[in-house]
């Protein structure tokens, strides 16, 4: 009887050792962690230096009772300006976004041709521009885009120069608010996930009607073909 117990104990010990050895030889299971996917944040802002470069050729000037100044050689000149500008962009998808730019500029308006030397006055512009953009995402950190949209320009703080010219003095000035189409192209170059550099060019077809008064009595009317190029560069931050 004792011998039988010893045999059974030896059998159990052998089975246990075999199980332990099998466990030691079994390959360990490796549980791979899923790749970390960063959440998509749709917001991007840019702080840029904006150059407003009007192309005012073709502006019309009609001066009542003074035919020589209403000739085809009469025109307007509008000064260039450089100002800071804020851009807010919202991405609907990684490729499609909407951009709104905000800036305020102040410009000097003068005469050209037969009106050369005439200081007409100054006006400030608030030209918010909304564009729908397509971003190309297959070039690594270099991310070019194109866009098209609409601009609404409000003219305010308008003031006539009141400087004599050939016996004439502009005593009033009013430029009408206007809506214009806009197109753009540009690119971001991302330095890391959040920060990058931006360059952007927009073209507006901005052609507001205007009116003025000369010597307190002579009406002046016309259309100012401002048609500016908006050239900007600055810093991008992607949330």
Q: Where are the domains of the chain?
A: 40-238
pLDDT at residue 8 greater than cutoff 50: no
Mean pLDDT on 73-89: 91
pLDDT at residue 219 greater than cutoff 60: yes
pLDDT bracket for residue 179 (50, 70, 90):
very high
Share of the chain above pLDDT 90, in %: 58
> Among the listed ranges 27-41, 163-177, 181-195, 197-211, which one has the minimum average pLDDT value?
27-41
pTM here is 0.80
Mean pLDDT on 195-204: 98
Mean pLDDT on 1-13: 52
Share of the chain above pLDDT 70, in %: 79
Residue 195 pLDDT: 98
Mean pLDDT on 17-40: 59
Just give the CATH number of 40-238: 2.40.160.20
123 close to 109: Cβ distance less than 8 angstroms: yes
Of 158-167, 169-178, 185-194, 221-230, give the range with the top mean pLDDT.
Answer: 185-194
59 close to 76: Cβ distance less than 8 angstroms: yes
Task: Report the C-alpha gap between 48 and 33 in whole angstroms.
Answer: 41
Task: Report the C-alpha gap between 17 and 12 in whole angstroms.
Answer: 9
pLDDT at residue 3 greater than cutoff 60: no
Residue 2 pLDDT: 55
Mean pLDDT on 78-105: 96
- Which helix (DSSP H) or strand (DSSP E) does residue 46 occupy? strand 43-53
Residue 108 pLDDT: 93
pLDDT at residue 9 greater than cutoff 60: no
According to DSSP, residue 152 is labeled: E
Of 1-5, 168-172, 173-177, give the range with the top mean pLDDT.
Answer: 173-177
Residue 148 pLDDT: 98
According to DSSP, residue 139 is labeled: S
226 close to 208: Cβ distance less than 8 angstroms: yes
Mean pLDDT on 158-177: 86
């Amino acid at each position: 009887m004792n011998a039988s117990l010893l045999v059974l104990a030896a059998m159990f010990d052998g089975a246990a050792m075999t199980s332990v050895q099998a466990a030691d030889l079994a390959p360990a299971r490796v549980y791979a962690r899923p790749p970390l996917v960063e959440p998509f944040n749709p917001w991007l802002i840019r702080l840029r230096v904006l150059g407003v470069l009007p192309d005012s050729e073709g502006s019309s000037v009609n001066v009542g009772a003074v035919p020589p100044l209403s000739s085809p050689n009469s025109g307007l000149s509008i000064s260039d300006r450089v100002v800071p500008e804020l851009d807010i962009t919202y991405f609907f998808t990684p490729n499609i976004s909407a951009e709104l730019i905000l800036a305020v500029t102040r410009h000097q308006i003068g005469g050209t041709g037969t009106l050369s030397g005439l200081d007409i006055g100054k006006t400030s512009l608030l030209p918010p521009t909304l564009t729908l953009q397509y971003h190309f995402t297959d070039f690594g950190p270099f991310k070019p885009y194109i866009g098209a949209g609409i601009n609404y320009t409000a003219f305010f703080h308008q003031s006539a120069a009141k400087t004599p010219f050939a016996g004439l003095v502009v005593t009033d000035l009013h430029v009408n608010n206007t809506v214009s189409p806009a197109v753009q192209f540009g690119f971001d170059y991302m330095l890391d996930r959040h920060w990058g550099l931006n360059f952007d060019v927009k073209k507006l077809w901005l052609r507001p009607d205007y009116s003025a008064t000369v010597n307190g009595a002579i009406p002046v009317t016309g259309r100012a073909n401002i048609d500016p190029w908006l050239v900007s560069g600055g810093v991008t931050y992607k949330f």
